[in-house]
Amino acid sequence: MQFNEIKEKDNKYLFQNYGRLEVAFDHGKGMYLYDVDGKEYMDLVAGIAVNSLGHSHPKWVAAMQEQVARLCHVSNLYHIKEQAIAAEKIASVTPGDLNRVLFVNSGAEANEAALKLAVRSTGRKKVLSALNGFHGRTAAALGATGQPKYQQTFEPLIAQSFQYFDYNDIEGLKALMDKDVAAVLLEPLQGEGGVNPGNPEFFKTVRDICTDNGSLMIVDEVQTGMGRTGKWFGIDNFGVVPDIISMAKALGSGMPIGAIATTDELYGTLSPGTHGTTFGGNPLVTASASVTIDIMKEERLVENSYEMGAYWRDEISKIESDEIVDIRGLGLITGIEMRTKANDFRKYCLENGVLVNVCHGNTVRLIPPLIIGKQHCDVLIGLLRNFLE
């Protein structure tokens, strides 16, 4: 099908709730995507931090083909072998003793589950989260998302349980803390909010304050998890162990899956009947999570994320231009804040066969597959130099 035909059907039959770029893809391989007209693009977006193995990784494809042919869905009425295996693999990479796993279908749902667990296990009503954060579009996740632009017109659906403080501001958090706070929910690095890394001291203090106050510390690793920041989880950069981690995106290499991990002490409050989902953790998506973790370990993708991220930011920092305001990031999530030209740069990259993303107005966000090599990083650096000249 030609691009124009796809666009026509899209305009006629789909909700128009996304601002889509003028391209539709047919297939992918490794670092590259190919559009319906056969043009090649180097992918530095990875489906918004999802395709960490690159596209169509042969081992992942084989595992999915085998699983689809054998068993795709049975529901949580029964024990699920693939779910149990995936939970054990997740527990092998989570920090501390976060070795109890619940599967859901997305990042927002993972945060919903984390919030329900926190409220139920503490018996408290309030949740504190950071301004400029992003936790998803469902009702409670949207409530936790301290950005009015996402909440506007949906207020009737949002619980009044949330209060917000400035990210990395310990005094702001302390001012809101009381014995009714069930949890503090934070991203280790604000992704959608413009690639703002957390401050290690701030996170250590949040841990102490939560412990002293009997509140839970929930870390949203939907975007930062699974090696994206050069450690298995973003919070590992700060040497802090939270009470609950939510994850999704790269966990399933494109299969829709989310999960939370917590401790043996906490998981029990979500007893039978208190929470659940039909699809959550079905054999196909959990087989995907397992093979994803296996490949990440075999190919040392977490280490590669650390090394390539450091290389990239070093090289980008050498570019002298008034247009670049700041370069931030951890591992393979990098933000290049520009004065005015982030969207022009995205367009320039697209024309030159490279996909980059822009978030929070004027920040170019680089979130490539974790298989990226120096040669790919150098292509982007060359484009950035040319663009700025």
Terminal Cα distance for the chain, rounded: 38
Buried b (16+ CB within 10 A) or exposed e, 230-247: bbbbbbbbbebbbbbbbb
Catalytic option among 43, 220, 236, 243: 220
90/77 Cα distance (integer angstroms)? 22
Is 106 a binding residue for ligand PLP by CB under 6 A? The answer is: yes
Sheet of 25-29: strand order equals 25-29, 32-35, 40-43, 354-355
162's enclosing H/E stretch is strand 162-165
The verdict on whether 162 is a catalytic residue reads: no
- Note the helical H segments in 217-373: 283-298, 301-317, 342-351
Is 248 a binding residue for ligand PLP by CB under 6 A? The answer is: yes
336/320 Cα distance (integer angstroms)? 13
The verdict on whether 97 is a catalytic residue reads: no
Nearer to ligand PLP, 136 or 368 (CB): 136
Nearer to ligand PLP, 223 or 304 (CB): 223
Of these, 60, 134, 167, 345, which contacts ligand PLP (CB under 6 A)?
134
Nearer to ligand PLP, 121 or 147 (CB): 147
CA atoms within 13 A on the CB side of 370: 34
Nearer to ligand PLP, 106 or 286 (CB): 106
Is 136 a binding residue for ligand PLP by CB under 6 A? The answer is: yes
By CB under 6 A, which span of 105-113, 285-293, 327-335, 370-378 interacts with ligand PLP? 105-113
Of these, 101, 108, 260, 372, which contacts ligand PLP (CB under 6 A)?
108
Is 220 a binding residue for ligand PLP by CB under 6 A? The answer is: yes
Residues at the contact surface with ligand PLP, assessed by CB under 6 A: 106-108, 111, 134-136, 187, 191-192, 220, 222-223, 248
Q: What residues are labeled active site?
A: 134, 220, 249
